[in-house]
């Protein structure tokens, strides 16, 4: 028997704590697994750990909804400097359509306001009027489509370049400055330092650094291995960027990521790119990447942001 619809007064919204991770992970899998019609929704994403990885990166940007001492929903966010990524937002299927999502959006959007970002972004399903309406009510506007693409990992003649984890502490500090300059050229104030640090500290994968001589000209945040945002057997490019217009550097960066996938024994490489970054999208298609899932980017305020033809970046904001 389904539970009675909870009254707002019966639902507690609070910061996510370490003790909530198992329950929040379970709700996340059930919600998406049910949405996609999996025979066993609890197996959504296999041994990937989206909730744990993002909570570890920034615990202050994670909230849960609790009803009768039971976690029934959660929301997470990612602080990328001038950009704040909303999601995933997941509600247990038993409580779907009862206003729980709105209760969770409110405190996260209040957090966004305190961090004074230039743009909040998210990924959602373009064929879901319910999701679109929810986010529109918080000032988000639909932009262009974001294909999540992948290709089989094949033996690569290239090397994986320099990995952030192999650098000394002083070299890592210099690399973070260089990466911040590249992402800042992509969008003013965009800063992936928190994500790079989390990947290195929590062993979520590694960051590929593309050098032209002694200068870093591109970087790619790669998750791989169980307990990361990638399934076992996959390498997930969570974010990658070169300077605007640098198509050749972008191609070389993809080569390095594909070489890393070969080196770790991954069978598939995954990365999303908004179609507004048309040259990057076309280059990935040329290299054999094909769309597995298509979402729509939503931005607050309504603006293209870094989804522009001359921007060479990988990111899907899921």
CATH T-level assignment (fold) for domain 150-314: Aminopeptidase (3.40.630)
pLDDT attached to residue 1: 46
Q: What is the residue extent of each domain of the chain?
A: 8-117, 150-314
Average pLDDT over residues 61-88: 97
Strand partners, 313: 241
Going by pLDDT thresholds of 50, 70 and 90, the confidence category of residue 217 is: very high
Three-class secondary structure of residue 148 per DSSP: strand
Domains 8-117 and 150-314 share a fold: yes
Write the CA distances from 213 to 68, 112, 125, 209, 217, integer angstroms. Answer: 59, 39, 42, 12, 9
Superfamily of the domain at 8-117? Gcn5-related N-acetyltransferase (GNAT) (3.40.630.30)
Q: What is the pLDDT of residues 276-285, one digit of tens each?
A: 999 999 999 9
Q: Report the alpha-carbon angle 106-121-176, nearest 5.
A: 115
d(CA 34, CA 23): 16
pLDDT attached to residue 157: 64
Strand partners, 79: 84
For a pLDDT cut of 70, what percent of the chain falls above it? 96
Average pLDDT over residues 111-140: 96
Beta strand 313-314 pairing with 234-242: antiparallel
Task: Provide the phi-psi class of 137: left if phi over 0, else alpha when psi is between -120 and 50, else beta.
Answer: alpha
* More confident site: 231 or 254: 254
Write the CA distances from 178 to 217, 248, 257, 305, integer angstroms. Answer: 8, 18, 19, 21
Residue 17's contacts (CB-CB under 8 Å, 6 or more residues apart) are none
Three-class secondary structure of residue 174 per DSSP: helix
Average pLDDT over residues 91-113: 95
Going by pLDDT thresholds of 50, 70 and 90, the confidence category of residue 4 is: low
Q: Is the pLDDT of residue 253 over 50?
A: yes
Three-class secondary structure of residue 125 per DSSP: coil
Residue 130's contacts (CB-CB under 8 Å, 6 or more residues apart) are 97
Residue 18's contacts (CB-CB under 8 Å, 6 or more residues apart) are 55
Question: pTM for the complete prediction?
Answer: 0.95
pLDDT attached to residue 208: 98
* More confident site: 308 or 3: 308
SS3 content of the chain, % helix, strand, coil (to 5): 35, 30, 30
Q: What is the pLDDT of residues 162-214, one digit of tens each?
A: 999 999 999 999 999 999 999 999 999 999 999 999 999 999 999 999 999 99
Residue with tokens 């990658």: 240
d(CA 282, CA 119): 26
Beta strand 70-80 pairing with 83-91: antiparallel
- Helices 100-115 and 129-136 cross at an angle (nearest 10°) of 40
């Amino acid at each position: 028997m389904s539970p009675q619809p909870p009254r707002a007064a019966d639902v507690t919204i609070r910061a996510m704590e370490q003790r909530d991770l198992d329950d929040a992970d379970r709700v996340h899998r059930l919600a998406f697994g049910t949405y996609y019609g999996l025979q066993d929704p609890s197996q959504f994403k296999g041994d990937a750990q989206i909730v744990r990885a993002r909570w570890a990166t920034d615990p202050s940007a994670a909230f849960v909804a609790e009803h009768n001492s039971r976690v029934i929903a959660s929301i997470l966010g990612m602080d990328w400097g001038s950009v704040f990524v909303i999601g995933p937002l997941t509600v247990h299927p038993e409580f779907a359509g009862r206003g729980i999502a709105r209760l969770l959006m409110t405190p996260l959007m209040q957090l966004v306001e305190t961090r004074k970002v230039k743009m909040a972004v998210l990924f959602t399903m373009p064929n879901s009027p319910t999701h679109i309406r929810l986010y529109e009510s918080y000032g988000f506007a639909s932009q262009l489509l974001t294909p999540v693409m992948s290709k089989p990992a094949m033996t690569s003649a290239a090397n994986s370049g320099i990995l952030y984890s192999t650098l000394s502490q002083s070299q890592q500090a210099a690399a973070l400055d260089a990466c911040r300059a590249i992402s800042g050229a992509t969008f003013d104030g965009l800063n992936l330092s928190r994500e790079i640090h989390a990947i290195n500290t929590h062993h979520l994968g590694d960051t590929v650094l593309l050098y032209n001589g002694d200068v870093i000209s591109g970087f790619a945040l790669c998750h791989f291995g169980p307990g990361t945002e990638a399934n076992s057997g996959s390498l997930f490019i969570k974010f990658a960027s070169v300077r605007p217009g640098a198509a050749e550097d972008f191609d070389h960066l993809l080569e390095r990521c594909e070489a890393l996938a070969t080196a770790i024994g991954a069978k598939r490489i995954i990365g999303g790119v908004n179609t507004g970054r048309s040259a990057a999208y076309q280059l990935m298609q040329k290299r054999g990447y094909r769309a597995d899932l298509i979402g729509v980017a939503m931005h607050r305020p309504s603006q293209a942001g870094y989804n522009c033809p001359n921007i060479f970046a990988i990111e899907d904001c899921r």
